[in-house]
Amino acid sequence: MADATAESASIAPVHSARGAAASERYAFIIMALALIVAPLAIYPFFLMQAICFALFACAFNLLIGYVGLLSFGHAMFLGVAGYVSAHTAKVWGVNPEIAILLAVLSSGALGLIVGALVIRKQGIYFAMITLALSQMVYFFCLQAPFTHGEDGIQSVPRGKLFGLIDLANQTNCYIFVLVVFLAAFLLIHRAINSPFGEILKAIRENEPRAISLGYKTEHYKLIAFVLSALLVGLAGGMKAIVAQNASLTDVHWTMSGEVVLMTLVGGLGTVFGPVVGAFVIIAMQTYLSSFGSWVTIIQGAIFVACVLAFRRGIVGELSRIIGKPL
């Protein structure tokens, strides 16, 4: 059918270059340096929030950018991980690294269940089902006793990392968040440039062909989904410790929409796009918060503008201008 070529027109750009390009290496160094000096000029708490969201968006981008799966329910992983880490840190009194580890594991377990259910689905179905499942998780969080419903879990202690480093100290906390983020970022970068990542891209471009080459594509997709959930769990667990609370906002579908927006603004399927997008969106929310519901309207308008005229996103356009992958 004539439609077939249009159907497979992929949502993310294709870079022919194999492995990590030099441009990406330089960009990573610039990003790391910028984040190291940033607290001198910008309020560290804002930076830590933005970094957590950047990790969230990177993990989301792993699916949409490299497997071509649009999850509209990623808030469930962020929210559940936040609740687990806040609950264990506050009620069980465990160290922050244990709380975050438990958050990562529970998010990964949820990812395995949800992934097993949806991984055979594609495109719009995948988006709708993940959205519906995350709404189910939302109602669970609304009603479960340990989440404290509308109140959320407040005044979570930041605690001492490994029982030694006091995270109540803003500098310590910032260094911790930055190190975790950079490590996770490198892990994602490694994953997408590994043979595993190449198979994911092959699935994105042409799944039937990948199957005919003997790849069990569903296994690869499921692994990518769980990996994404684990990393979102890391972001959510860390965010609950940093912000010292966990609330329903993080499980709500609006959050699922926000991470899509961040990635779209930054550039779907680019390595650095989600980071840039997360900073742009979080900055916009922070500085425009006095405008109330106008923030939602502006976000909607950015969605529309990006889809109609700016599909490559900020980093995607930049990468096109310099002619190198970013």
Partner 1 sequence: MFGVSTQALFGQLLLGLINGSFYALLSLGLAVIFGMLNIINFAHGALYMMGAFCAYFLLQWAGVGYWGALVLAPLIIGLVGVLIERTMLQWLTGLDHLYGLLLTFGLALIFQGLFQNYFGSSGLPYAIPPQLTGGQNLGFMFLPNYRAWVVVFSLAVCLVTWFVIERTKLGAYLRAATENPTLVRAMGVNVPRMITLTYGAGVALAALAGVLAAPINQVRPLMGADLIIVVFAVVVIGGMGSIMGSIVTGFALGLVEGLTKVFYPEASNTVIFVIMTIVLLIKPAGLFGRAA
| 9 touches partner 1 by CB under 8 A | yes
Q: In the window 235-254, what residues touch partner 1 (CB under 8 A)?
A: 253
Q: How far is the CB of 141 from partner 1 (least distance, A)?
A: 11
Q: Considering beta carbons, is residue 135 or 244 the nearer one to partner 1?
A: 135
| 257 touches partner 1 by CB under 8 A | yes
Q: Considering beta carbons, is residue 149 or 163 the nearer one to partner 1?
A: 149
Window contacting partner 1 (CB under 8 A); options: 86-94, 154-162, 186-194, 306-314: 306-314
Q: Considering beta carbons, is residue 42 or 211 the nearer one to partner 1?
A: 211
| 304 touches partner 1 by CB under 8 A | yes
Q: How far is the CB of 128 from partner 1 (least distance, A)?
A: 4
Q: Considering beta carbons, is residue 131 or 315 the nearer one to partner 1?
A: 131
Window contacting partner 1 (CB under 8 A); options: 3-11, 31-39, 76-84, 231-239: 3-11
Are 86 and 156 in contact by the 8 Å Cβ rule? The answer is: yes
Q: Considering beta carbons, is residue 6 or 164 the nearer one to partner 1?
A: 6
Q: In the window 123-182, what residues touch partner 1 (CB under 8 A)?
A: 123-125, 127-129, 131-133, 135-136, 139-140, 142-143
- Note the residues at the interface with partner 1 (CB under 8 A): 1-3, 6, 9-11, 70, 72, 117-118, 120-125, 127-129, 131-133, 135-136, 139-140, 142-143, 253, 257, 260, 264, 292-297, 299-304, 306-308, 311
